[in-house]
Amino acid sequence: MKIYMIGFMASGKTSVGKRLAKKLQLSFMDMDPYLENKYGKPIPEIFKEDGEDKFREYERNVLADTFSMDDIVIATGGGTPCFFDNMEVINENGISVYLNHSIDFYVYKLLHAKTVRPLVVGKTEDELRDYIVETLGHREQFYKKAKHIVNLNGEKKDEIADIICKIINKDK
Ligand code: S3P
């Protein structure tokens, strides 16, 4: 079984994905650190030195690396489903799960995040909100191609992992 966690930045793809993997006794892989390791530098540096287009190519290559993996939960990057035919190949290769939170949730999480994300770094709360509304407006059409859309409203990470577990088990 291969599960792809998809969703906006800070939606919990990694933290929920890790919990889900544990519950289902699967391994876990996070595309962002894997990409940093494969290309030998942190994502902010890749954006600065190589540009976003190059990052998206690297990301696509990392996605291709996941096709041969099995018994695994994979946390994609927030933009992964929205470039090339990534969402189609994600759905051909595994079970996609979209973590769908409110705009307020993303604003709060991104304002208080420790991870440096080049697309939102240095933004004020108002700028961040505008960016999220606009970007999500474009990205939602891709995210909504997920096999399972999980609409969330403040549930804890463990609860979210439980919800997903039930959905996946029901489908077996
Ligand atoms: C991005 C999300 C990031 C990372 C990169 C670009 C995006 O991953 O891949 O900074 O385009 O939304 P997270 O969703 O894990 O923050």
Distance 172 CA to ligand 1 centre (A): 30
Q: Which residue has the tokens 């489903």?
A: 81
pLDDT at 124: 95
Is residue 170 predicted with pLDDT exceeding 90?
A: no
Is the CB–ligand 1 distance for residue 89 below 6 Å? no
Is the CB–ligand 1 distance for residue 79 below 6 Å? yes
Is residue 172 predicted with pLDDT exceeding 80?
A: no
CA dist., res. 92 & res. 9, Å (int): 23
Is the CB–ligand 1 distance for residue 117 below 6 Å? yes
Rounded mean pLDDT, 136-158: 98
User: Which run of H or E residues covers position 25?
Assistant: none
DSSP bridge pairs for 151: 100
User: What is the tens place of the pLDDT at every residue in 33-73?
Assistant: 999 999 999 999 999 999 999 999 999 999 999 999 999 99
Is the CB–ligand 1 distance for residue 147 below 6 Å? no
Rounded mean pLDDT, 125-140: 98
Q: Which of 74, 117, 134 to mutate to test the pocket of ligand 1 (most atoms within 8 A of CB)?
A: 117
CA dist., res. 164 & res. 160, Å (int): 6
Distance 149 CA to ligand 1 centre (A): 19
pLDDT at 171: 82
